[in-house]
A and B are shown apart, each in its own frame.
Chain A
Amino acid sequence: MAKGFVVIDVDRCKGCGLCTHVCPSNILALSRDAFNAKGYHPVIVTDAEKCIGCASCARICPDVVLTVYRQKRQTQRVGVQAAVAVAPSA
């Protein structure tokens, strides 16, 4: 069972390849034959079982192509910082 899971918004991808260089499991590649609506070769996952859900791909993607999921941890963890109080507006 893969630890992580990635959803690719295919038509947003510009085939820049940055994500393929940072994936620690080396499971991202630009598709050779497929084209998306923009005319680029979009990224594909070559071996979904090896995904660890680290989100490196999402963190380097300039086009917000990737949504990342990961197995829930045993201990509860705050995923997003609580909002900092903002001064009342003028």
Chain B
Amino acid sequence: MTKELLKGNVAFAEAALRYGVQAYFGYPITPQSEALEHLSERMVDEGRVFLQAESEVAAINMVYGAACAGVRVMTSTSGPGFSLMAEGFSYIAGSEVPVVVVNMMRGGPGLGNIQPSQSDYFFMTKSAGHGDFHPIVLAPANVQELIDMMGLAFDLAEKYRTLVFMAGDGALGQMMESAELPPMQPVRTERPDWAVTGNADHASRIITSLYLDPTQLEQLNLHLQRKLAVIKANEVRWREYQTEDADLLLIAYGMVGRICLSVMREAREQGLKVGLLRPQTLWPFAEARIAELAGKVRGILVAEMSAGQMLEDIERAVKGKVPIHFHGRMGGMMPMVDEILADVWKLAEEVGAGSRE
């Protein structure tokens, strides 16, 4: 397949189609509406199911229904819509059906704005709405990764019968980059053996998250926790850049991870031994590796488009071994290379890893 110039939102939508998504139910919200628009045409072209729902509340419940019927299904949205879907997420998690949701994060809280942010980290990683659960959260940093992770998202969702979030942001959704789409995969014709398809050929199946008996609900929760433990053990992903000899470690994901790659290169040119760890899964999180690296470096700088959400997970992993500094922008502001670099120098001076003289 050849590379094409692709807009992020269009890329993940087309990728989903080629990875065999059978149904898409969505609602327009900036900065991801191009995905809905693209699929409104392409899904119909390919004989798949597309519907623009009346709200995100309806959309996630349509997704939930289709998932119960055993098809590959997804939706996409941004912060305010994501909040509306939270009830649906919890039901999906509790009833163990596979669902993929793309969240192109924007400035919040509330209506916020349409510029990029990473301020839904807590929301996405800590729970799936009410109840004890963690969805898998993937964090692409460029359009190619966004495309590749769509396939991974569906595979993981179905492998574990779980909820998978794609943590994008407005910049990733809107930017255009050269990337390669996968070839068209055939759509699955079989339905899984737990799906509701009419009991003509099986004993009645009930898909629910209701267990009035607390002994039963505790069993479900223990089962879910065991499932999450397996996911934690097997599905952590991250990338490292020049961490072998690093004195200082940058940790950032998504667009900020990409910006920090430039920061790292700049810093190296200026004589600082900086490495970068870029988480590709926000849940499960690379806490073990971060804890390990914390033992080798003199300081860590975390950069996020938030008030410091991933920061808390990093602090927990590092356990105070080394100083952690934070560079955060909020409200849709994007951090710039030189601003982050200035903070790298501040950290370097504080921990004696270099000085500007």
Binding site for B on A (CB under 8 A): 89
Contact = CB atoms under 8 A, between A and B. Distances in A.
Q: Is the interface of A mostly helix, strand, loop or mixed?
A: loop
3 contacts: A89-B197, A89-B198, A89-B200
A22 B198 CA distance: 36
Contacts of A89: 197-198, 200
A88 B165 CA distance: 35
Nearest to B198: A89
B92 to A, nearest CB: 22
A89 B200 CA distance: 10
**Top 3 A-B residue pairs of the complex, sorted by shortest distance between their CB atoms:** A89-B198, A89-B197, A89-B200
A85 to B, nearest CB: 15
Nearest to A89: B198
A89 B190 CA distance: 12
B330 to A, nearest CB: 47
B197 to A, nearest CB: 7
Interface string B178-213: 000000000000000000011010000000000000
A72 to B, nearest CB: 33
Contacts of B197: 89
A86 to B, nearest CB: 10
A34 B242 CA distance: 84
B65 to A, nearest CB: 14
A84 to B, nearest CB: 16
Contacts of B200: 89
Nearest to B201: A89
B86 to A, nearest CB: 31
A22 B174 CA distance: 69
A88 to B, nearest CB: 11
A31 B198 CA distance: 41
Nearest to B71: A90
A61 to B, nearest CB: 23
Contacts of B198: 89
A89 B196 CA distance: 13
A67 B200 CA distance: 26
A86 B171 CA distance: 50
A89 B202 CA distance: 14
A89 B197 CA distance: 9
Interface string B219-256: 00000000000000000000000000000000000000
A83 to B, nearest CB: 13
Nearest to A90: B197
B67 to A, nearest CB: 16
A35 B152 CA distance: 61
A47 to B, nearest CB: 41
Nearest to B69: A90
B201 to A, nearest CB: 10
Interface string B270-308: 000000000000000000000000000000000000000
Nearest to B191: A90
Interface in B336-353: none
Nearest to B200: A89
A71 B286 CA distance: 77
A25 B200 CA distance: 41
